[in-house]
Each structure stands twice: as C-alpha cells, then as structure tokens.
Homo-oligomer: A and B are copies of this chain.
Amino acid sequence: MNKSLCSVWLLVLLVGMWPVLAFQKEDPAAQTIRAKIAEYRQAHEMDILRELADFLSIPNVASDGENITRNARWLTSRLRRRGIRTRLLQANGSPPAVYGELPTPGARRTIILYAHYDGQPVVPTLWETDPWQPVLKDERGRLIPWSSLSSPVNGEWRLYARSASDDKAPIVAILAAIDALRDARIPLSVNVKFLFEGEEEAGSPHLPAIINRYADLLRADALLLCDGPVHQTRRMQVFFGARGVVDLEMTVYGPTRPLHSGHYGNWAPNPAALLTHLLASMRDTEARILIDGFYDDVRPLTETERRALAEHPHIDTQLRRTLGLARTEGEGRPLVEQIMQPAMNIRGLESGRVGAQARNVIPTEARASIDFRLVPRQTPDKVRSLVEAHIRRQGFFIVHQTPDIETRRAHANIVKLEWGPGYPPARTSMDLPVSRAVVRVIEEAVGRSIIRLPTLGGSGPMYLFLDVLKVPAIGVPIVNHDNNQHAPNENLRLQNLWDGINIYAHLLGRLGEVWESVERRTGSMK
C-alpha cells in the first residue's frame, strides 16, 4: 500500500472487547471452512512461514529491475506449482505485473485478488536487522533462531523484513488459503484472477496502461484489494474507497532581494504576510474549506455509510490523549466522520528564517505546500479551477512559472501555482450485493462484526479499478496496524497472517454463494 494510501497507523490501546456476533443462522459451510482452515494452518505453520521468508529474502524495490524480475519469477513459479495459469503483464517498459487465472467450474462470479510484491526503499543502517534477511522475534523483541523454531508458533511473535506486511504477507496468505481449501477438498466459489503489481510503492505509474492494455484479460465482477492494515483496535475492517488527492505548491513574491525590514518594512510588500492572508481565506481553523463551490460536488453519505460510521469504534478520546490534543478540528466531530469530507492540509510553510537564523529582513518569497483530499464526486480538474478562481478573487495574479522581473514589475500580488498530477476519489457502494457479501463472509470467518469504512482517509489509485477497469473494488486488509510500514523494522504479527489465511479462504470458498444469495434476496440478479 503506497504512502498516500496508508501510512502512519496509530498505536492505541485495545478498546475493550468487541461483541461476538450472534449469528443466528450460521452457515454450516462457513463453520466447516473455519475448522478446516485452522486445522490446516496448525499443521503447516512452518511451511507457510518458510514460504513467506523465502519470498521476503528477495529484495523488492521497484527501481531494482533485476530483483524485481526475481520476485516475479518466484511468484510465477509459486502460482504454477498450484496449477494457476500465469502471465507477465507489462506496458511501456514497466516492471512485470504477475497475472494468474484460476477458473472454478460452475462459478458464475469472477474476482480479482490484487496485491503488490514491491516494497518501499530501505535505509539499511536504520534497521536492527537486514531488511531482506527475515528474522522472527518474540513479544519482547528477542530473536528466535529459525533452527530452533517448531510448531505451534506463538501468534504474537513477529516476522521482521521489508514487505513483511506491505504487501507480501497477503500474497502468501492467499496461496496458503488455496492450499488449505484444496487440502480440505472445499471447492472455490468464484473464478479467481490474480494481479500482483511490481511498482505500487513507486506510485503505480504504469498501472493505467497495463489495465487498458489487458482490459479483456482483467475482466471481472469485483476486485479485492489485499493491502493495508486492520483497524488499530486489531478488529478486521474492510474499506470501500479512498480519497482522491491533488497537491499544490504556492509561492508569493516580495522584493527581488531581501530588504532590511527597518529601512523598507511597511513599504516593500511582505510576501509572508500576503501568504498568511491568502491561506487564511482558503480554510478556517475548524478545517472548513472557504473556497466558493468547493463542497458543491460532494455526494452526501448514504444511509448505509452513515450507519457504518456510527458503528465505528470510539477511539477519539484515546487518540487525543496520545497526540497531546486538547481540541480537534471539525467542531469536535469524530475522526471517522471528518475523513469522509474533503480536506485542505497545509503540509509546509517556508519564508525567510526563524529562530536563531532569523534576520531583520523582508523575505523575497513565501511558500506553502498543500494537499487537497477529494471525496466522490469531486475531480482534481474541478478543484484546481475552483481554487484558482478563489485565489484570483483575492486579488492575486496567477502564474505557473517563476515570474521574471518584468512580470513582477507589471503585476501586484503574484502567486505561482504548481499543481501535482493528482487523481480522483473512488468509492464502491456499500449497498452492492458484492459489498454486502464480502462483509458477510468476513464476519462469518472471524465470528464477529467487522469495521466498515466507506472511504479511507488516505488516498490511493482505487479509481483505476473503479473508473478504468470498471469493477467494484473493496479493500480487505489483514496485517497488523503497528507494522512499521514504509519505515525501518517493518514487521508482521503472525496472528494476523493466520487470520488472513482464514479470511481469504472464506472469501475464496464462500463469496460466490453468499453473493448470489444476497442478490436473490435483493432481487438484483445479474
């Protein structure tokens, strides 16, 4: 999961115990799967761990072509070993996306399981152990030598390596789930396609081209995004969307060289003062965006989405305490509601110098770096145009290149705007039969209610699946929230791997049937 999609997850205390669902009519098939998968996993823990450790020992930075190819070859061989037809998908010189197909006789639904096998770059000196030599540690951080390992392995132990969580664990969990179902002679309930990308951490630059090029191959009824962590309370969660994002760098100008603030202050325009007024005109301190029309395209939450939010664990109090916050933005509304709204974040300010480096000068320029988060149905283009119209109304002259001195002589209040490429938000309806079926199957798998998030607060290219591939996409994360994703000492809590195998096995074994049953009941047979 890339940096935008999912990054710093907060370590909070477990918020009590969660109600075990009273499944009044638990399906006997689900009960069977749960028991069989547990049995298989217990018998094969060592094999599963060895397979994951083997995968993790191949360096996987997207720009490292040779090792990326080794990863793709490893994956291809592991899929083929399981009788899965594979193919490498490439476009415009991209790293290979590993594609696989596992048809299920009689299945009427096809799903894609998406994950990525590349990982974030590492700074090895910041790691306690080699990022590509996986090690196991117990709850107290003591190394468990591979040679002394035996089953049963403690679920609280952790495996340390780059991509242990992000995002090789889900791939190995999927492979193990297939093995477990076969071992128990439980047939799959859907046709399965696999799409394992090799440059997600680099921003998936070729994914649109790959999707377009292989549109026929990738045809499916739904996509499950096997990436990201579970909720910080350790409860399972699914997410149905991600916010869009568009970045903006703003520069306003003062005199062409720094001027003594005594001799020229009050006369030469202070760019920092100009910038503070512009920024203050764009966003208030309760996070409300003050730009005309900014909320016009925002689709209100559906009844289902509102209900899902209402059922969300109450973590705000604990979060405020951990983060040293006496108040929060949004007039005290819960975090989970706030991230359903568009946002304007000032991620950086820079002008002149502060503190010991400060000098009595009027700076030559002042800069702000902003990220806008978008929700359905906002678009980056519309947001850009609304923001520029607002800035013009504040009396600014907009340029997109650094202005020369003639331009600066000719125009007061010049602002240079540099827009990032951005991408739109995406949100799969939670009312779709597949959405309801995925939730139902996972709740069967874990035996309790799960957390449903209409949209992640973070951004990710989910729109590629919804808008380009045109399938509903649902995020089904399995790894621990405190996995040091993107950071040194990335790790995977083994219980999350065990739980993940169970969840993916249920989805493979049960989703088709439950999906059709939901459709039958809602009369929305396809």
Query: Of residues 347 to 365 in A, which have CB atoms within 8 Å of B's CB atoms?
Result: 347-355, 357-363
A447-474 CB contact bits vs B (8 Å, 1 = yes)? 0000000001111000000000000000
Among B267, B325, B343, B412, the residue within 8 A (CB) of A265 is B343
Given contacts A325-B408, A347-B360, contact A260 B354 (CB under 8 A): no
Query: Of residues 291 to 345 in A, which have CB atoms within 8 Å of B's CB atoms?
Result: 320-330, 333, 335, 338-339, 341, 343, 345
Cβ B323 vs Cβ A8 within 8 A: no
Q: Write out the residue numbers on chain B whose beta carbons fall within 8 Å of the beta carbon of A330.
A: 266-267
Among B280, B360, B409, the residue within 8 A (CB) of A277 is B280
Cβ A339 vs Cβ B9 within 8 A: no
Cβ A270 vs Cβ B348 within 8 A: no
Complex-state Cα separation, A449 to B14, whole angstroms: 82
Cβ A358 vs Cβ B347 within 8 A: yes
Cβ A338 vs Cβ B261 within 8 A: no
A23-35 CB contact bits vs B (8 Å, 1 = yes)? 0000000000000
| Stretch of A99-107, A134-142, A148-156, A241-249 with 4 or more beta carbons under 8 angstroms from chain B | A241-249
Q: Write out the residue numbers on chain B whose beta carbons fall within 8 Å of the beta carbon of A78.
A: none
Complex-state Cα separation, A480 to B353, whole angstroms: 29
A146-178 CB contact bits vs B (8 Å, 1 = yes)? 000000000000000000000000000000000
Interface status of A393 (Cβ within 8 A of chain B): no
Cβ A352 vs Cβ B369 within 8 A: yes
Cβ A413 vs Cβ B327 within 8 A: yes
Q: Write out the residue numbers on chain B whose beta carbons fall within 8 Å of the beta carbon of A285.
A: 269, 273-274, 277, 413
Nearest CB of B to A450, in Å: 19
Interface status of A84 (Cβ within 8 A of chain B): no
Interface status of A44 (Cβ within 8 A of chain B): no
Given contacts A348-B353, A351-B348, A369-B355, contact A283 B273 (CB under 8 A): yes
Interface status of A275 (Cβ within 8 A of chain B): yes
Among the interface residues A321, A326, A457, which one has the most CB atoms of the partner chain B within 10 A? A326
Nearest CB of B to A416, in Å: 12
Interface status of A7 (Cβ within 8 A of chain B): yes
Q: Write out the residue numbers on chain B whose beta carbons fall within 8 Å of the beta carbon of A280.
A: 276-277, 279-280
Cβ A7 vs Cβ B260 within 8 A: yes
Nearest CB of B to A480, in Å: 16
Q: Write out the residue numbers on chain B whose beta carbons fall within 8 Å of the beta carbon of A333.
A: 267
Cβ B343 vs Cβ A261 within 8 A: yes
Chain A contributes a number of interface residues (CB within 8 A of B) equal to 93
Given contacts A267-B339, A338-B267, A348-B351, contact A326 B411 (CB under 8 A): yes
Query: Of residues 96 to 127 in A, which have CB atoms within 8 Å of B's CB atoms?
Result: none
| Stretch of A86-94, A251-259, A488-496, A515-523 with 4 or more beta carbons under 8 angstroms from chain B | A251-259
Q: Write out the residue numbers on chain B whose beta carbons fall within 8 Å of the beta carbon of A354.
A: 249, 348-350, 367-369
Nearest CB of B to A67, in Å: 26
Given contacts A276-B346, A277-B284, A362-B347, contact A329 B269 (CB under 8 A): yes
Nearest CB of B to A274, in Å: 6
- Chain B, residue nearest A289 (CB): B266
Nearest CB of B to A401, in Å: 15
Nearest CB of B to A47, in Å: 36
Interface status of A264 (Cβ within 8 A of chain B): yes
- Chain B, residue nearest A7 (CB): B260
Cβ A363 vs Cβ B347 within 8 A: yes
Among B4, B259, B262, B363, the residue within 8 A (CB) of A456 is B262
Interface status of A58 (Cβ within 8 A of chain B): no
Query: Of residues 1 to 38 in A, which have CB atoms within 8 Å of B's CB atoms?
Result: 3-9
- Chain B, residue nearest A408 (CB): B324
Given contacts A265-B373, A347-B352, A362-B345, contact A326 B410 (CB under 8 A): yes
Interface status of A263 (Cβ within 8 A of chain B): yes
Nearest CB of B to A426, in Å: 13
Complex-state Cα separation, A71 to B72, whole angstroms: 76
Q: Write out the residue numbers on chain B whose beta carbons fall within 8 Å of the beta carbon of A343.
A: 261, 265-266
A residues near B, CB below 8 A? 3-9, 243, 245, 247, 249, 253, 255-270, 272-277, 279-280, 283-285, 287, 320-330, 333, 335, 338-339, 341, 343, 345-355, 357-363, 366-369, 371, 373, 405, 408-414, 456-459
Could you list some 23 contacts between A and B, CB below 8 A?
A5-B262, A8-B263, A9-B263, A253-B324, A263-B339, A263-B456, A264-B457, A265-B345, A265-B457, A266-B373, A268-B323, A272-B348, A273-B284, A276-B276, A276-B346, A320-B409, A321-B409, A326-B411, A327-B412, A327-B413, A345-B360, A348-B358, A349-B354
Q: With A249-B358, A349-B366 given, name 12 new contacts (CB 8 A).
A: A256-B323, A267-B333, A268-B323, A268-B328, A273-B346, A276-B346, A280-B280, A285-B413, A347-B358, A348-B351, A348-B355, A348-B363
